[in-house]
Structure 1
């Protein structure tokens, strides 16, 4: 079966029967498309209307709003890997042009296959229908020259054919609509909110996009995509869905943003859980002398795949938690180190649980190389840094037996960037040499994977001796509490220690895999196991590639 990157699904069934057919149709469509699936709604489309190759408008209705919600909800259940986008260019109010496609709409991802639920009773007509469907689609959208077509109907169970059509009630539309949110990695709930908002918008759609100040208390905030990237993805989605609308995306630094200051706004679209926020907006608008907004509420979408530790609804925090242990960024090829043993550079801030992660990986079969222990070795009398450190920092850092007192040495360099750099310039290159030696020893012992456990992996530039960077994170508040308990220091000292390290965000930005030890040990173990299993799969694929 051929797979295509991008496809358009033309849904032709009447609106009152589509909800019963969405699941099998999407399941079937997912067998042909692997990345982006656009959905074009044309209920009642038949062979005679395909031949002119020109769609008619579909009026915005409550039925259509409900269908959009069901479609994104079912998609989250059966083909969550697909980027689904319901297109609204041909959704128009009565009285507007019945020719909504004067030119073919250019989509952000060019489709190379058109699929449909169109039912063909006479098999001799299949080729004709396919040909007409291809012309119809290419008239509506800019597609690849050799567009393929697939009729899904023969594989789909047709249900509810005798259902009575419901009375279609037009949806109220507004000149200016507003929503707010983080919109991190658009999921089904986001897409529902945005698409229904587009359905209701006639001219301007204002989106308040949460900025850094509103992200501080988000779960796994380090995994939230940068503002610029979220804005880019959001705008791409919206312009695909309804290009005729004017979109304004503004940073949201407080819960209200422009919703309480723009007098021309008419409607705010909220979810069930943010309705109180909409009411708070109206209270502020009245205080500011502006008219209240119509509050339109979108139902929450249940997450069929949620675990015991996740919310029942589709949420960004749950989806971010599922990213833990997965490959967030492909590793860069490093021709200067052998492919095996495969070296994981594991790093994280104080109290992040990095060492416990390393021990879990060791239990799964990895060789554990502790860079902190190697650092101790370099300081030992006769070690590679002993005389140089003593020469630079003086004999007052020595114990009575002549060994270096690391606590005294630490006090000399703490808070002094120049002295700290002087020390690290001496010590870090030697730790890297010892680490490389340990990696070679692990190779001689037949180890496939090594874990270089190094708090300063990124600061020291040791990424040139590892294949992947894995980062452990926890919220700063929790890290401070752990440091205080573990080391018996004050909260102020624990905070200073964190302030002198890289932030979680800086580390995550350079990470291939991220892990978090904020929850129960069994949750951490599941993350580590997932990361290990996916790593073994990458290693097998690399080996097979080398053999072929």
Structure 2
């Protein structure tokens, strides 16, 4: 079956029976569409002729908001790989006679296929219905030429009758609506929050996006997308689902932002867990002489795929956790080194668990090279850096037996950037030479993967001798505790040590794969195994090409 990257799913079942069909319809659509699936509610669409080319309005009711919530929830269960976007263009609380489509809507992803659950009673009507579906879609959206059309109804179970035929209460709407959040890696829960907010808003939708200090305590904060990326994706989604609104997106450096100072705001949308935050906003507004905002609360969505250490609800932190061990960005082709052994540069800050990850990779079959140990070898009497270091820093750094006292040497270069650079200019090139020698030995032994365990891999610019960069991270507070326990140093000294290193965020910018050793050893092992298995797939593809 031909696969499409973007499609529009037109749901024509009556709204009171559609919840019974959501799961099978989405499952069928997911087999055809790979990436983005726009969902357009249009009960009563007639595809028996080409007369209808524009959708009509659907009143915004409480049942519609409930249906949208259920749709996103079901989508998260049965096709979580899809970017589902429910279009709200023809769902309005006011001006029901106004034509919502003066021209075809331009979507951020141009549709390649249009699908519908429209049922036909006779197979002879199918071709006509498909032709009308194509014309209908072309009238609603800017589509690719020769748009493919698919009727999903023949493969679906009939929709059972049920639900009330009485009209649902109209949704109370507001001129200006506000919402806040991190909005990292937009998921179904975000889309419910944003979709309901768009239904509630008549004119303006103000979105505060967390940044700076508000991100400090987030789990795996290093994997949070940059503010500019989050805003871009957010704006794209909002323009797709309801382009008639005026959107204002602002950065939040505190929990309140403009929600406590903007006099035009009327409603704030919260979830069950952020209700207290909404109450705090209203308390601040009263203190500032502003009227309280109406609090519209939405339900959290349970994550059917969560693991034992992830949240039960769908959350960005769970999605970030699932990135651990996976390929975050493709490796750059390095023509200066042989294809095999495939060299992984493993790095991380003090206490990050880098060495334990290296041992786990060694247990899976990799050859491991300890750059720190090689550094010690360069200092040894007879080592390649010994005479250069003594000549540069003086004989007073020597022990009675002639060996270099690394603590004395460390005191001379500590917090002296010029002397430290002088030392690294001597030692680092020698470590590289020894590392390349050991990589060659690993190749001679028939090793497919070689791991270079190097704390200064990025600072020293050693990425030109590896195929991929893997980074281990843990929160700074945990790193400080580990350093204190491991090395018997004071908290202040542990913090100084970390302050002289690259930050987790700096390392992650260069990482192809990120691992975190914060949790139990078996969870680290799962990450390493996942990373190893995916690595084997990449190596296999390289061989085949």
How far apart in 1 are the matches of 2:179 and 2:163?
A: 35
Post-superposition Cα deviations, 1:418-477, rounded to whole Å, max 9, x if no partner, equal: 111111111111111111111111111111101100000000111111111000000000
Structure 1 residue 51, shift from structure 2 partner? 2.9
How far apart in 1 are the matches of 2:72 and 2:480?
A: 41
**Counterpart in the other structure of 1:297:** 297
**Counterpart in the other structure of 1:361:** 361
Is 1:130 the counterpart of 2:130 in the alignment? yes
**Counterpart in the other structure of 1:417:** 417
Is 1:228 the counterpart of 2:209 in the alignment? no
| C-alpha contact (below 8 Å) 1:176/1:205 kept by paired residues | yes
How far apart in 1 are the matches of 2:438 and 2:326?
A: 27
The alpha-carbon distance between structure 1 residues 50 and 16, as it changes in their structure 2 partners (threshold 3 A), is farther
**Counterpart in the other structure of 1:4:** 4
Structure 1 residue 187, shift from structure 2 partner? 0.7
How far apart in 1 are the matches of 2:97 and 2:479?
A: 60
Partner SS state of residue 10, structure 1: strand
Structure 1 residue 93, shift from structure 2 partner? 2.8
How far apart in 2 are the matches of 1:49 and 1:492?
A: 77
Structure 1 residue 18, shift from structure 2 partner? 1.0
**Counterpart in the other structure of 2:148:** 148
**Counterpart in the other structure of 1:118:** 118
Structure 1 residue 538, shift from structure 2 partner? 1.1
| C-alpha contact (below 8 Å) 2:369/2:453 kept by paired residues | yes
| C-alpha contact (below 8 Å) 1:16/1:166 kept by paired residues | no
TM-score, length of structure 2 as denominator length: 0.98
**Counterpart in the other structure of 2:473:** 473
**Counterpart in the other structure of 1:28:** 28
Post-superposition Cα deviations, 1:145-181, rounded to whole Å, max 9, x if no partner, equal: 1110111111111232355435322111111000000
Number of residue pairs aligned between Structure 1 and Structure 2: 545
How far apart in 2 are the matches of 1:237 and 1:50?
A: 30
Deviates more, 1:402-411 or 1:357-366: 402-411
How far apart in 1 are the matches of 2:163 and 2:491?
A: 67
Partner SS state of residue 329, structure 1: coil
**Counterpart in the other structure of 1:320:** 320
**Counterpart in the other structure of 1:395:** 395
| C-alpha contact (below 8 Å) 2:332/2:467 kept by paired residues | yes
Post-superposition Cα deviations, 1:297-320, rounded to whole Å, max 9, x if no partner, equal: 110000000111111111111111
The alpha-carbon distance between structure 1 residues 50 and 223, as it changes in their structure 2 partners (threshold 3 A), is farther
Structure 1 residue 95, shift from structure 2 partner? 2.9
TM-score, length of structure 1 as denominator length: 0.98
**Counterpart in the other structure of 1:502:** 502
Partner SS state of residue 14, structure 2: coil
**Counterpart in the other structure of 2:109:** 109
**Counterpart in the other structure of 1:88:** 88
**Counterpart in the other structure of 1:460:** 460
Structure 1 residue 96, shift from structure 2 partner? 4.0
**Counterpart in the other structure of 1:332:** 332
Structure 1 residue 50, shift from structure 2 partner? 5.4
Structure 1 segments unaligned to the other structure (5+ residues): none
How far apart in 2 are the matches of 1:343 and 1:134?
A: 51
| 1:64-79 aligned within 5 A | 64-79=64-79
| 1:198-209 aligned within 5 A | 198-209=198-209
How far apart in 1 are the matches of 2:378 and 2:520?
A: 36
| 1:371-410 aligned within 5 A | 371-410=371-410
When the two chains are superposed, the root-mean-square deviation of aligned CA atoms in Å is 1.1
| 1:269-280 aligned within 5 A | 269-280=269-280
How far apart in 2 are the matches of 1:230 and 1:164?
A: 40
The alpha-carbon distance between structure 1 residues 432 and 97, as it changes in their structure 2 partners (threshold 3 A), is farther
**Counterpart in the other structure of 2:266:** 266
Deviates more, 1:62-71 or 1:90-99: 90-99
**Counterpart in the other structure of 1:527:** 527
| C-alpha contact (below 8 Å) 2:205/2:246 kept by paired residues | yes
| C-alpha contact (below 8 Å) 1:13/1:118 kept by paired residues | yes
| C-alpha contact (below 8 Å) 1:134/1:147 kept by paired residues | yes
Post-superposition Cα deviations, 1:160-206, rounded to whole Å, max 9, x if no partner, equal: 23554353221111110000000000011001100110111111100
Post-superposition Cα deviations, 1:36-62, rounded to whole Å, max 9, x if no partner, equal: 111111011122575331111111111
How far apart in 2 are the matches of 1:514 and 1:97?
A: 53
Structure 1 residue 327, shift from structure 2 partner? 0.6
**Counterpart in the other structure of 1:428:** 428
How far apart in 2 are the matches of 1:290 and 1:163?
A: 42
Partner SS state of residue 208, structure 1: strand
| C-alpha contact (below 8 Å) 1:60/1:199 kept by paired residues | yes
Partner SS state of residue 92, structure 2: coil
**Counterpart in the other structure of 1:219:** 219
**Counterpart in the other structure of 1:449:** 449
Structure 1 residue 543, shift from structure 2 partner? 1.3
How far apart in 2 are the matches of 1:50 and 1:447?
A: 65
Structure 2 segments unaligned to the other structure (5+ residues): none
How far apart in 2 are the matches of 1:169 and 1:45?
A: 23
Post-superposition Cα deviations, 1:59-112, rounded to whole Å, max 9, x if no partner, equal: 111111011111111111111111111111111234344421011111111111
Is 1:157 the counterpart of 2:177 in the alignment? no
| C-alpha contact (below 8 Å) 1:215/1:221 kept by paired residues | yes
Post-superposition Cα deviations, 1:215-254, rounded to whole Å, max 9, x if no partner, equal: 1111111111111111111111111111111111111111
